[in-house]
Amino acid sequence: MGKNDNLHKAKEAKNDEFYTQYEEIQLELNHYEDKFKGKTVLCNCDDPFESNFCKFFLRNFNYLGLKRLICTSYGTSPVIGQQLTLFDWMDEPVMSGNGYVMDITEVPMANGRGVSDADIETLLKSKKRGVKKLNGDGDFRSEECIEYLKQADIVVTNPPFSLFREYVGQLIEYGKQFLIIGNVNAITYKEIFPLIKENKVWLGYRSLNKYVF
């Protein structure tokens, strides 16, 4: 592998770890509020402790009337192994290289008026309902993650840029509805453009110079 290949791979890896701002998610998702009632949402590139997609759906779980929320994280997530205190309550030590899953069907509210950060923390730390270790690394293409995909109605995330084509291909293969962030160049990909032409995929409401949903 040449020096440029290494640089290219390092840049791709850095892009793959770009995290989405809460406000960006909220502003786009505001347009689809009525689409989530009774649905199972999967965020399958999302560390439950780190991802604002998870946070958004936890905060709005009751408001949107979700049936179930599943978030799976990938083994190389930077939070794994660094913020160990977050995982202190788990029975087993946290393994770098392992993926984690949060799979919930209710978000209890302490004050009954809205989901607070304290409610979210309690839920994430709950031994019964909180975050559990996956068998593998949480790759969205792995068997156990595909099982979660099969159970989902809508997939919402910002997937790794370097795997965008494969990621969308899998969603189409399993016939899932989705709302995802991608680089604007993705419109021109030979795997993506025909989907837009056939009206199977369309652009979101916001930031057209930056993202395609």
For ligand SAM, the binding residues (CB under 6 A) are 16-20, 45-46, 51-53, 74, 76-77, 138-140, 157-160, 163
Q: By Cβ distance, which residue is nearest to ligand SAM? A: 158
For the CB of residue 31, give the shortest distance to ligand SAM in the complex, in Å: 18
Nearer CB in complex with ligand SAM: 18/193: 18
Contact (CB, 8 A) for 108 and 125: no
Q: Within a 10 A sphere around the Cβ of 67, how many other Cβ atoms? A: 14
Nearer CB in complex with ligand SAM: 127/210: 210
- What's the farthest any 2 CA atoms get from each other in the chain? 58
For the CB of residue 208, give the shortest distance to ligand SAM in the complex, in Å: 18
Q: Within a 10 A sphere around the Cβ of 99, how many other Cβ atoms? A: 25
Nearer CB in complex with ligand SAM: 19/193: 19
- Span between the terminal Cα atoms of the chain, in Å: 34
Nearer CB in complex with ligand SAM: 57/61: 57
For the CB of residue 162, give the shortest distance to ligand SAM in the complex, in Å: 8
> Strand runs (DSSP E) across 113-176, as ranges?
131-133, 154-157
Contact (CB, 8 A) for 183 and 161: yes
For the CB of residue 179, give the shortest distance to ligand SAM in the complex, in Å: 12
